[in-house]
Amino acid sequence: MIIQDQRNSPSFIYHYCSMESFSKIIENREIWVTPAVKMNDITEGSWITALLRRYAQENLSSTQKDLDFANAILEFIAINSYPLYMTCFSQNKDLLSQWRGYADAGKGISIGFKLNSFSIPIIDNNWISKFRHGKYYLCKVQYVDYNYIYPSIDDIFKRYKHTIDNLHNIAIQFINMRSILKNDSFSEEQEWRLAIEPQFFRKNDAHVWVSQIIPLENIKTRVTTKGLSKYLSYPILGENQPQIEEVVLGPLNQTTDEDLSFFLYKNKLPFVKIKRSRSTFCG
């Protein structure tokens, strides 16, 4: 199901990771979808609300009614936003910043998935609200700076009356933009995201958890460098599931083509192309 304009979409998107993660992805035939707040960039999924907060501080401090309205929107977002889970890809198969940040400092690998093999919606910002409730979707990140999005925020406060209904509608717009907007300083990443709001939560002070859509047994935990972290496993390589076209060994990856070929063959992937990075990388 394709909803986003695909005329400028790539044929493949690449997931950068360590060799240890790569072996688990292939052997378990799954990729991990993790909380945005646990990712390398701590602003993942929250940048749009940070912009709204900045706008309020810089432009509404002298108008108490507007400031109260903005604070009410931020409070609504905080209360009504389920955690955003995602995994990230790049259009670029061989990007130095990706090797550094996500692929074991150049010793990892990038995995090239066929974009059209994802049997989930590929959407733009206008359609996100239709898929927020416990459904996976793919989206291409839109990079914007504060000066670009400022007029849109300003227009909202000038155009809408300060009513409860408008507050809810505005807040939902900002919530929907979380997964698709990012600071333009990251634009070289050419990022795509596989995202979902699984909608599960802690019911009270006791250790009682409730999931509205996804069965709790499908929500797993693992140990990371930051401690325990929840994640979802997204199946790949089966029928109507994402398929791998090629892999690119990082600039400092010492795996031989022969060893990688054998690993792929043993895991029933004999036709995956093997390439090597051309990036210049000093470890």
Express each pLDDT in 148-170 by its tens digit: 777 877 777 777 666 667 777 77
Q: Which residues pair with 273 in a beta bridge?
A: 246
Distance CA 29, CA 31 (A): 7
Q: Within 13 Å, how many C-alpha atoms sit on residue 25's CB side? A: 25
**CA–CA distances in Å: residue 135 to residues 15, 42, 192, 199, 274:** 21, 23, 17, 10, 33
Q: Residue 130 has what pLDDT? A: 52
Q: Residue 57 has what pLDDT? A: 78
**CA–CA distances in Å: residue 19 to residues 2, 178, 193, 263, 272:** 32, 30, 21, 12, 16
Burial 228-253 (b: 16+ CB within 10 A, else e): ebbbbebebbeeeebbbbbbbbbbbb
Q: Which residues pair with 144 in a beta bridge?
A: 183
Burial 73-92 (b: 16+ CB within 10 A, else e): bbebbeeebbbbbbbbbbbb
Model-level pTM? Answer: 0.84
Task: State how far Cα 268 lies from the chain centre.
Answer: 28
Which segments in the chain show pLDDT lower than 70? 1-8, 38-46, 60-62, 80-81, 124-133, 160-164, 282-283
* DSSP three-state, residue 48: helix
φ, ψ for residue 238 (rounded to 5)?
-95, -175
Q: Within 13 Å, how many C-alpha atoms sit on residue 51's CB side? A: 24
Q: Residue 62 has what pLDDT? A: 63
* DSSP three-state, residue 114: strand
Q: Residue 7 has what pLDDT? A: 53
Q: Tens digit of pLDDT for each residue in 3-39?
A: 444 556 889 999 999 999 999 999 999 999 998 876 6
The one-character DSSP state at 84 is P
Q: Which structure tokens are listed for 179?
A: 């997964």
Q: Which structure tokens are listed for 115?
A: 């974009």
